[in-house]
Amino acid sequence: KPNDVVYDFYSGTGTISIFISPYVKSVTGLEIIESAVEDAWRNAELNNVKNCKFIAGDLREKLYKDKSWMKETPKPDVIIIDPPRSGMHPDVVKAVAKIQPRKIVYVSCNPTTQARDIKMLFEYTPNYEIEVIQPIDMFPHTYHIENIAVLNLIPSSRKNPIKNKINSST
């Protein structure tokens, strides 16, 4: 949405961040590989993108110890996650659950670790539901696929249907 603040975890060279930048208010990409972050800044400049910023550092550290960047960036409406094949560290999953963005878009090159991470997210917070899971065969004639899962925060009006029914009948 045009006013969405987006965090792009494991942002690499900024491909997803830059692609979505015309459609959102701002994007903050986090990536551990410093040369990829330098390339992301360069890519944003080459594409005249002004609403993206990129931060170098270990995501787990940036979510728990060095959180100064979060004071300068509004809480996200959307978090895009595109981790390595090994998936997310459990502490990162826990932090995402605590942030509770309206939408999580999890792009994965390993459906097994993606399923593990989503299950873990549901263990930390029951406040999400899966909207869609879409495999994409980007590597024909191999066993590799990309898999995209979109999770939405369950609206508070649906979190306790018994309470809602009682309130609506009075």
Q: Residue 136 has what DSSP assignment?
A: E
Assess whether pLDDT exceeds 70 at residue 161. Answer: no
Question: What's the mean per-residue pLDDT of the chain?
Answer: 92
> Are the C-beta atoms of residues 150 and 132 closer than 8 Å to each other?
yes
Q: Which residues are catalytic?
A: 109
pLDDT band at 136 (very low <50, low <70, confident <90, very high): very high
d(CA 9, CA 88): 10
What sign does the dihedral 81-7-75-70 (CA atoms) show? positive
Cα–Cα distance measured from residue 154 to residue 144, given in angstroms and rounded to the nearest whole number: 31
Residue 10 is assigned to a ligand binding site: yes
Rounded Cα gap, residues 41 and 148, in angstroms: 25
Q: Tell me the pLDDT tens digit for each residue of 70-90.
A: 998 999 999 999 999 999 999
This prediction has a pTM of 0.89
4 touches 21 (CB < 8 A): no
pLDDT band at 160 (very low <50, low <70, confident <90, very high): low
